[in-house]
């Protein structure tokens, strides 16, 4: 369906894996997908979407100043696009979320965005805030806290594995830099490392 979708979660829930699998399903049926990811996230290399389980694919990059509607329109004119997949959607600007909505509405294709909902301080990312307001479909991809409860929050860690409470909203990092926690343990700043506390 030609809609704007937002699939969100905390860190390490498998968002990129789900994105790559969904794109593969289209390609397997002879369709063409357009993959996009944020230029700022170069952990797997610039213009590459990669999952923790080893799946990866090349992707177009977007920067804050890019017009994504025009990008999609030009790509679609060159080779018809059946679906657009956007990884690291939390890094979109509000204007870019509107541009993606226009691609769904005016070009007529599903635009599926995958990203974090909140940062390490529990605040919405600008892209996620706009997607929560504008997306036709919202879906949470679940992961768990160390205690077994659903993880909805993200804690940032310093080099010694301690929780960081202040700093820039965007610091690129993987499992060594972030951990997903349930709300209770995020508030308590409890990483569960030998605490022995019952859940």
The DSSP letter of residue 103 is I
pLDDT at 3: 96
The pLDDT of residue 70: 97
Output the CATH code of domain 4-142.
3.40.50.300
**CB-based contact 124:6 (threshold 8 Å):** no
Considering Cα of 58, then 170, then 134, then 117, what sign does the dihedral take?
positive
- The one catalytic residue in 28, 88, 140, 176 is 88
| Positions of the chain with pLDDT lower than 70, given as ranges | 42-45, 167-176, 194-199
Strands in the chain per DSSP E: 4-9, 33-38, 48-50, 56-58, 60-62, 83-86, 111-116, 137-140, 153-157, 163-164, 178-181
pLDDT of residue 175: 56
pLDDT of residue 195: 45
Task: Write down the pLDDT at residue 196.
Answer: 41
Domain ranges of the chain: 4-142
Distance CA 110, CA 108 (A): 7
Which pLDDT belongs to residue 173? 53
Give yes or no: 88 in active site: yes
pLDDT digits (tens, 9 = 90+) for 20-65: 999 999 999 999 999 999 988 766 667 788 787 778 788 999 999 9
């Amino acid at each position: 369906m030609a809609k704007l979708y937002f699939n969100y979660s905390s860190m390490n829930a498998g968002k990129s894996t789900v994105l790559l699998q969904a794109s593969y399903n289209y390609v397997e049926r002879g369709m063409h997908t357009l993959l996009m990811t944020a230029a700022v996230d170069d952990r797997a290399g610039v213009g590459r979407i990669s999952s923790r389980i080893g799946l990866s694919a090349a992707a177009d990059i977007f920067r804050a100043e890019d017009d994504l509607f025009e990008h999609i329109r030009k790509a679609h004119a060159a080779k018809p696009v059946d679906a657009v997949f956007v990884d690291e959607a939390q890094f979109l600007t509000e204007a870019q979320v509107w541009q993606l909505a226009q691609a769904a509405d005016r070009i007529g294709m599903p635009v599926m965005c995958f990203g974090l909902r909140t940062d390490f301080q529990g605040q919405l990312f600008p892209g996620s805030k706009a997607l929560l307001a504008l997306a036709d479909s919202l879906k949470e991809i679940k992961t768990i806290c160390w205690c077994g409860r659903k993880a909805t929050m993200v804690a940032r860690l310093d080099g010694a594995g301690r929780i960081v409470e202040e700093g820039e909203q965007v610091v690129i990092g993987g499992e060594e830099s972030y951990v997903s926690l349930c709300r209770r343990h995020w508030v308590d700043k409890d990483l569960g490392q030998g605490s022995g506390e019952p859940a």
